[in-house]
Structure 1
Amino acid sequence: MSAGQQMLIALGANIPSEHGEPAQTLHAALQRLKQVGASIEAVSRFYKTPCFPAGAGPDYVNAAARLTCDAAAQDILSMLHEVEAYFGRERVRRWGQRTLDIDLIAIGDVVLPDLRTYRAWRDLPLDRQTQEAPETLILPHPRIQDRAFVLVPLADVAPDWRHPVSGQTVCQMRDALPQEVRAEVVPL
């Protein structure tokens, strides 16, 4: 991958991998991303966050990163899944415990696959979110505005990135969340 579009990713882990505890796994995953050709422009601080949904496992270590590349969105997603697999990620249960989770949050101001599909997934009721996963890549990530564990770290690396549908910046989305939710995301 060479320099190109801005890409935002969120990383998280809540169980050890063969590379160590969750924070060590995130550091190693960032190195692995470089090895497979990603150009990492910025990495957030690491944060301790409560497991989501509540009671699903140990607390997480979360971070965000800003990368650049020229690859197609689906190729980027495949690369992220390959890195997850390298660290022992198994996609057994939606929102289950994991050695590594890397979510593609956004690629510039791209909306995929289209605005109608994006809005349908963004507006999906919570009970269906736990049971259903899209068969195609949805960008920006349809839950970004709801997740302090993504927005707080993302504000470290892309505070002024503007959501192409809502028009809000990362900081505006973060600040719109309840203070008690934001306070659960604690720097390590």
Structure 2
Amino acid sequence: MDEAVVVALGCNLPGAYPSREVLLEAALTALPEVGLDVVTRSTWWRSAAWPDPAGPEYLNGVAVVRTALSPRQVLDALHDLEARFGRARGEANAPRTLDLDLIAYGRTVVDGDLVVPHPRAHQRLFVMGPLAELYSGWIHPITGEPAFRLAATATVGRDARPVAAA
């Protein structure tokens, strides 16, 4: 897991798709098209909109991918994929059709115009919960804490829960 490239997927609007689940599955399927081969993925997790819980509920998950791309190229590929799925960037934390974040790139730490690991992921249950589901012992490159502990102490999205199997 030291080399794991972790990508978070989320949305609270289905866009042109019949549901948020269908949109996220389509995005997951499209990752290899941009050089991100999915090794494994979590189940989807539901959580209230943040910071305004009156907004549409979010659906989130994580994928561990294999890639030859650099961290900057991964982020650029994720942004291109968001645009392809109808993401319009505007107001921060606004409802969105697709949100793709580079959570970690192995043990790499980058602090500049690109920040890796993601600077707030360790605070978010809707990221750490799905990651702990896959690899509870994944270690955050900066805090040194395992995913299961970060999930237990996350302060954002405390209502996040796995979607029950149909």
Superposition TM-score, scaled by structure 2 size: 0.90
User: Which residue, 137, 146, 151 being the options, matches 2:123?
Assistant: 146
> Relative to structure 2, which stretch is displaced further, 98-107 or 165-174?
165-174
3-state secondary structure, aligned to 1:150: helix
Partners of 1:157 and 1:14 lie apart in 2 by: 23
Change (3 A) 1:142 1:64: same
Task: Report the CA distance between 1:19 and its aligned residue.
Answer: 2.5
Measured against aligned partners, the alpha-carbon deviations of 1:91-138 in whole angstroms (never above 9, x if no partner) come to 11111100000011000111112xxx6xxxxxxxxxxxxxxxxxx111
Task: Report the CA distance between 1:56 and its aligned residue.
Answer: 6.0
Task: Report the CA distance between 1:16 and its aligned residue.
Answer: 1.5
Identity over aligned pairs, percent: 35
What is the aligned length?
A: 161
Task: Report the CA distance between 1:146 and its aligned residue.
Answer: 1.2
> 1:109-188 to 2 correspondence within 5 Å?
109-113=107-111, 136-177=113-154, 182=158, 184-188=159-163
From the two aligned structures, give the one with the greater helix fraction: 1
Query: Residue in 2 aligned with 1:124?
Result: none
Matched, 1:27 2:9: no
Structure 2: state its 5+ residue gaps.
Answer: none
Task: Report the CA distance between 1:163 and its aligned residue.
Answer: 1.1
3-state secondary structure, aligned to 1:103: strand
8 Å CA contact 2:140–2:146 kept in 1: the answer is yes
Which protein has the larger Cα radius of gyration, Structure 1 or Structure 2?
1
User: Which residue, 42, 45, 48 being the options, matches 2:43?
Assistant: 45
User: What letter corresponds to residue 172 of structure 1 in structure 2?
Assistant: R
3-state secondary structure, aligned to 1:98: coil
Superposition TM-score, scaled by structure 1 size: 0.80
Partners of 2:39 and 2:106 lie apart in 1 by: 14
Query: Residue in 1 aligned with 2:75?
Result: 77
Query: Residue in 1 aligned with 2:85?
Result: 87
Question: 4+ residue runs of structure 1 moved beyond 4 angstroms?
Answer: none
Task: Report the CA distance between 1:187 and its aligned residue.
Answer: 1.8
8 Å CA contact 1:146–1:177 kept in 2: the answer is yes
Partners of 1:76 and 1:170 lie apart in 2 by: 22
User: What letter corresponds to residue 108 of structure 2 in structure 1?
Assistant: V
Measured against aligned partners, the alpha-carbon deviations of 1:140-174 in whole angstroms (never above 9, x if no partner) come to 11112211111111112232221121110111111
Partners of 2:54 and 2:124 lie apart in 1 by: 16
Task: Report the CA distance between 1:181 and its aligned residue.
Answer: 5.5
Structure 1: state its 5+ residue gaps.
Answer: 118-135
Query: Residue in 2 aligned with 1:123?
Result: none
